[in-house]
Amino acid sequence: MLRWVRQQLGFDPPHQSDTRTIYIANRFPQHGHYVPQKFADNRIISSKYTVWNFVPKNLFEQFRRVANFYFLIIFLVQLMIDTPTSPITSGLPLFFVITVTAIKQGYEDWLRHKADNEVNGAPVYVVRSGGLVKTRSKNIRVGDIVRVAKDETFPVDLVLLSSDRVDGSCHVTTASLDGETNLKTHVAVPETAVLQSVANLDKLVAVIECQQPEADLYRFVGRITVSQQAEEIVRPLGPESLLLRGARLKNTKEIFGVAVYTGMETKMALNYKSKSQKRSAVEKSMNSFLIIYLIILLFEAILSTILKYAWQAEEKWDEPWYNEKTEHERNSSKILRFISDFLAFLVLYNFIIPISLYVTVEMQKFLGSFFIGWDLDLYHEETNQRAQVNTSDLNEELGQVEYVFTDKTGTLTENEMQFRECSINGIKYQEVNGKLTPEGFSEDSPDGNRRGLVKEEELFLKAVCLCHTVQINADQTDGADGPWHANGITSPLEYYASSPDEKALVEAASRVGVVFTGISGDSMEVKSLGKPERYKLLHVLEFDPNRRRMSVIVESPSGEKLLFTKGAESSILPRSKSGEIDKTRIHVDEFALKGLRTLCVAYRRFTPEEYQEIGKRLHEARTALQQREERLADVFNFIERDLELLGATGVEDKLQEKVQETIEALRLAGIKVWVLTGDKHETAVSVSLSCGHFHRTMNILELVQHKSDSTCAEQLRQLAKRIKEDHVIQHGLVVDGTSLSLALREHEKLFMEVCKNCSAVLCCRMAPLQKAKVVRLLKTSPEKPITLAIGDGANDVSMIQEAHVGIGIMGKEGRQAVRNSDYAIARFKFLSKLLFVHGHFYYIRIATLVQYFFYKNVCFITPQFLYQFFCLFSQQTLYDSVYLTLYNICFTSLPVLIYSLFEQHVHPHVLQSKPVLYRDISKNAHLGFKPFLYWTILGFFHAFVFFYGSYLLMGEDTSLLGNGQMALETHFWTWINHFVTWGSIVFYFIFSLFYGGIIWPFLHTQDMYFVFVQLLSSGSAWFAIILIVVACLFIDVVKKVLYRHLQPTSTEKAQLTEAGSGINCLDSMCCFSDGETACTSVRRMLERLMGRCSPARVNRCGISLNSLCCRRFSYKLEPDEPAAIDV
């Protein structure tokens, strides 16, 4: 128990060594001095709290907030010294805010506990005592042999021991981990693959040594030592042997595996990565405003204390006849009295700090984020995917973006590859009617009379068919000899691949006569023009981003050992010693200029001696527990040399719909777009031109292929000079990965100067970490611009996490980008609606919310300060304590919350069709110092008007004015706005009548008894209320009218244009029938309440209207909209 406590507190980490030793079936050595390692149990814990620590931990987290901690201090001061207001005035609002937040967080954590219990209690089968034992998932220990059946999810990270197949292989899908739906093949080592029964497995004596847990899903280093007949056999274990928790078994009846990582040490649990806290610009402004108001508060308290003692310098005011001091007060220390008075004034004015600001902002962000998921225009019908919000803390940041960093493949393009051209032995070919046709060679003969493949062509196609990781649908593998066309060139097989490039190439090869028909055991089967051939797969040299290539070593039917390799031309051509290298390089450049993705293909023949040396080196590197990756990289480089070039391929990846329009809209909005891609220079430039990132009239500057600091610096200086000379022309910059590394090493400032003067920047041949580095470079520059990164693959995760706002595309390269993003959308074109409409609305709403909170508290508490001049600074309170308590909680909270959820100062259509309106809110325009100063001065002005107006005419409260100002700010009125705005004022009157009309037995004083009734029975009081409210709001109305006519912003001009257009359909409130969520009922209720959802808009998205809850609607159409539909 003590050890467990120490581990929880972090004093006693469970692992001390770099590796862990696992005895299969927990058969530990019998000698007495062996001490087994301690491992975590298999419980998954995603919750933050327990029954015991919820209260202290939650309170600690909440009081870390400045405002909460401040009000706690004020509350404690009220308890300790004699203050003018009751402790309830601070304690009750604080208790309300803390309680609401705790209930919300507690409920969320209860849901996590519920989910955890469901997972941890799932039934599993474990091999123990010679038989299968049914137990709960949480009871699995490291070393247990676990049985998993078809379509079940792996409960722990397992090393595969055997399956129902003779070769010990199985197929799994990791869709729930990385989104890849293709089947992955995992294999057991030969010594355990034959142990297919429980009885045989129970006799297994083996030890696994492997690395300690780490989050990388694709990395595993280990080895297994199997004891057979007094002999120990050592086999390497890699990612192909590891079955990950959360993955699902497919096309395999059952498997047995040994648990190596359990519970929170599984790779899935380690990937429950709490994202780094991103703070929005609004939150930073809010904290700055809080500090300024704290300074105002301290100034007022100090000034009041000084004035009190200045006033009391006259003896008649120091101790008036009606308030004589006690003996203790006369003899007390002056310093202590000064401090006590200062604290009393601090308590009196403390409501200038808005306690409910944080909780209101949290509610606004949380509730407001649902509108993104509900937006029909962000719903992709083909894939049935809607927009996702992974964090609601950055909603308003979508309205502040200045730089967009985007990936190319799968983000700007569809990531649907189609084979277009290839180069074989220096000759270019195209696919025509299922045939490889040399360039310039026209052949219209039917398929039956087609020419055969020449030797070079056949070898090239075999290399394409053997060097890949493509899988075949298991239902078809047995029927590979099924129906064929007479010419043997059409394959009925269905291929699966994690890389769309590989799938396109294998499918193209099958169409022209060389068909990959599957893997059987350790053999790859190929049909060349209908003739089956079997190649023994000896080794796979996996792809990695540093080598930028992958290879396989196979044994041909004739017994020859061959290496086939494919990869980027920059990694293949320098390693090739023969073949048509120069011609192929020219062809690769031509392919790239057409926007095609290129790969080079090469091979090498091994002598028996060479292969023996290679096998030995590979075994040593793969069984190493330390620095395995580095050793393997050295061996791979040793093997992949002296290549004979076979040719190159060109695959087309078509652009996504409306990419060009979206990039142009971003440019009009003042947002600079940078494309960061791993593609080669020519391909990237071609795609940039086709998608509108580069214009044909743009002067394209290049910083590429530099090998030294000096040449790179000289080129940068020339580019900077050229930009200065041609400042009228728009410039685009192309930079490659190697030149970028040099530029950032010594010449970062000069590089940034060149980049900022370019309208568009294209970075090609980029590694994932280089992408993140570029984002960080802009993000930390002196201007501190707001950055957004968007991508679809695992290689984009680093830049998505680095940017202020990260957006994942739900593409074909897995779900890692989506899981690590702040927002996720299905297509790049949705970015315009996300920024120009949702971002614009969220920013305007929260900017007004934050400033209104400070404004209304200044209005509320300044009269308290002014009143002290009339009561000799005796710390007498102006307001009844109940009104102090309820002002922020009840009287003024709902109108601003509803405003911040539903306000639309301009119609969504107008915002999206006029991207230039985005410039009006850029650079935190509505939360800068000038708007803040205006709202603060407005608050003080209103406070002076109604204090002195009330002093001259009558007594007055500020709730009427606060809600009146909110009504003045609202442009988009729904019945909910009317209800809460006017309802709050009505509630104030009803409450005052009720509170002052009854003698409450639990109140020791009741200063407001019958006061309000008497006040409202006077006609002059009503006249004074109306006069003061109008006088306060009149100045703001005049200011708004003058500014709109003399200096209107683009947004205000758009509002005037919109006023006569008759638009009244709320797009963001429409719902869709497919993929409905648990919030559907709430959404439909809101639609009915708002009365703004038109089926005509729904029909434009191609969604069935039968499922919608709307009745008969119509609205005035815009010129470009279809006719209204009656439902």
List pLDDT tens digits, range 564-607. Answer: 999 888 888 888 988 888 899 999 888 887 778 788 999 999 88
Look up residue 207 and give its two tokens: 């030890």
Most confident of 205-214, 451-460, 989-998: 205-214
Per-residue pLDDT tens digits for 289-300: 888 888 888 998
User: Which residues have CB under 8 Å from 34's CB, separation 6+?
Assistant: 28
CA nearest 1072: which of 902, 826, 839?
826
- For the question of residue 1074 being annotated catalytic, the response is no
Distance CA 901, CA 846 (A): 9
pLDDT at 157 over 90: yes
- Is 419 a residue whose pLDDT tops 60? yes
CA quadruple 575, 580, 586, 589: dihedral positive or negative? negative
Closest of 883, 898, 917 to residue 849, by C-alpha? 898
Q: How far apart are the first and last CA of the chain?
A: 66
**pLDDT at 613 exceeding the cut of 50:** yes
* Banded model confidence at residue 1064, pLDDT cuts 50, 70, 90: very low
Residue whose tokens read 């006369």: 330
Query: Which residues, 6 or more positions from 60, have their beta carbon under 8 angstroms from its beta carbon?
Result: none
Signed CA dihedral, 826, 830, 833, 839: sign only: positive
Confidence at residue 404, expressed as pLDDT on a 0 to 100 scale: 92
- The pLDDT of residue 687 is above 50: yes
The lowest-confidence range among 433-437, 530-534, 908-912 is 433-437
Asked if residues 568 and 600 have their Cβ atoms less than 8 Å apart, the reply is yes
* Confidence at residue 491, expressed as pLDDT on a 0 to 100 scale: 42
* Residue from 268, 264, 153, 275 nearest 216 by CA: 268
Q: What is the pLDDT of residue 156?
A: 93
Q: How far apart are CA 887 and CA 93, in angstroms?
A: 10
pLDDT band at 684 (very low <50, low <70, confident <90, very high): confident
Q: Are 406 and 413 in contact (CB under 8 A)?
A: no
Q: Shortest CA distance to 591 belongs to which of 513, 651, 508?
A: 651
Place of tokens 């001095």: 33
Q: Distance between CA 1082 and CA 1091 in Å, rounded?
A: 14
List phi, psi (to 5°) of 86: -70, 145
Beta bridge partners of 385: 380
At residue 1117, the pLDDT reads 32
Spatial contact of 963 and 981, defined as CB atoms under 8 Å apart: yes
| Most confident of the ranges 933-937, 945-949, 970-974, 1008-1012 | 933-937
Taken in order 756, 758, 761, 763, the sign of the CA dihedral is: negative
C-beta of residue 865 within 8 angstroms of C-beta of residue 927? no
pLDDT over threshold 50, residue 1126? no
Where does 577-671 have alpha helices with state H?
581-593, 608-622, 628-639, 659-668
pLDDT of residue 242: 92
Mean per-residue pLDDT over the chain, rounded: 77
Q: Does the pLDDT of residue 20 top 80, yes or no?
A: yes
The SS3 assignment for 1109 reads: coil
pLDDT at residue 9 tops 50: no
Instruction: Compare 1052 and 444 and report the one with higher pLDDT.
Output: 1052
State how beta strands 643-655 and 596-606 pair: antiparallel
Instruction: Please give the residue that has the higher pLDDT: either 48 or 644.
Output: 644
pLDDT at 469 over 80: no
Q: Phi then psi for 642, rounded to 5 degrees?
A: 50, 45
The residue ranking higher by pLDDT, 1118 or 736, is 736
Ranges 419-423, 471-475, 550-554, 913-917: which has the least confidence: 471-475
pLDDT at 794: 66
Q: pLDDT by residue (tens digit) across 169-188? A: 888 887 666 555 567 788 89
Measured over the CA atoms of residue 946, residue 951, residue 953 and residue 958, the dihedral's sign is positive
In whole angstroms, give the CA distance from residue 1000 to residue 247: 64
Q: Give the residue, 101 or 132, on which the prediction is more confident.
A: 132
Dist. CA 859–CA 137, nearest whole Å: 60
Query: What is the residue-wise DSSP string for 763-777?
Result: EES--HHHHHHHHHH
Angle at 643 between CA 637 and CA 645, to 5 degrees: 135
Q: Give the span between the Cα atoms of 248 and 1036, in whole angstroms.
A: 63
**28 or 546: which leads in pLDDT:** 28
The gap from C-alpha 667 to its chain's centroid, in whole angstroms, comes to 23
Which helix (H) or strand (E) is 751 found in, with range?
Answer: helix 748-756
Catalytic residue among 377, 407, 736, 822: 407
Tell me the average pLDDT across 812-827.
75
- Are residues 729 and 699 in contact, defined by beta-carbon separation less than 8 angstroms? yes
Look at 600-614, 754-768, 785-799, 1052-1066 and tell me which has the smallest mean pLDDT: 1052-1066
- Please determine, for residue 260, whether its predicted confidence score (pLDDT) is greater than 90: yes
∠ Cα 338 344 348 (to 5°) = 145
pLDDT, average across residues 473-499: 51
Gap between the Cα atoms of 905 and 910, Å rounded = 11
Q: Is 543's pLDDT higher than 50?
A: yes
pLDDT in tens, 355-414: 778 778 888 888 888 888 888 888 888 888 888 887 777 888 888 899 999 988 778 877
Q: What is the pTM of this model?
A: 0.67
pLDDT band at 323 (very low <50, low <70, confident <90, very high): low
Q: Over the stretch 759-790, which tens digit does the pLDDT of each residue have?
A: 889 988 777 778 888 888 888 888 888 999 99
Token digits for 451? 């020419």
pLDDT digits (tens, 9 = 90+) for 995-1029: 766 666 556 666 666 677 777 777 777 777 788 88
More confident call, 1096 vs 562:
562
Coarse DSSP helix, strand, coil percentages of the chain, rounded to the nearest 5 percent: 50, 20, 35
On whether the CB atoms of residues 468 and 461 are closer than 8 A, the answer is no
User: Which residue type sits at 846?
Assistant: I
Element (H, E) at 363: helix 357-368
Query: What pLDDT is attached to residue 422?
Result: 92
CB-neighbour burial class of residue 721 (10 A; exposed 0-12, middle 13-18, buried 19+)? exposed
d(CA 400, CA 543): 39
pLDDT tens for residues 856-867? Answer: 888 888 888 888
**What is the pLDDT at residue 784?**
86
Burial 4-24 (b: 16+ CB within 10 A, else e): eeeeeeeeeeeeeeebbebbb
Q: How large a percentage of the chain has pLDDT more than 90?
A: 7
Binned at pLDDT 50, 70 and 90, residue 647 comes out as: very high
User: How confident is the model at residue 123, as a pLDDT?
Assistant: 92
* Residue 1123: pLDDT over 60: no
SS3 label, residue 673: strand
- What is the pLDDT, as a whole number, of residue 1056? 66
- Tell whether the model's pLDDT for residue 948 goes beyond 70: yes
pLDDT-derived band at 1094, boundaries 50, 70, 90: very low
CA angle at 225 for the pair 219 and 226, rounded to the nearest 5°: 125
Q: What is the mean pLDDT of residues 737-747?
A: 82
Residue whose tokens read 């008759």: 1062
Per-residue pLDDT, 37 = 79
226-235 tens-digit pLDDT: 988 778 888 8
602's CB contacts (< 8 A; 6+ apart) are 463, 564, 565, 566, 572, 575, 576, 579, 643, 644, 645, 646
Q: Are 834 and 825 in contact (CB under 8 A)?
A: yes
Beta strands per DSSP E along 390-522: 403-406, 413-424, 427-432, 435-438, 471-472, 495-496, 514-520
1044 pLDDT band, cuts 50/70/90, is: confident
CA distance 512 to 491: 10
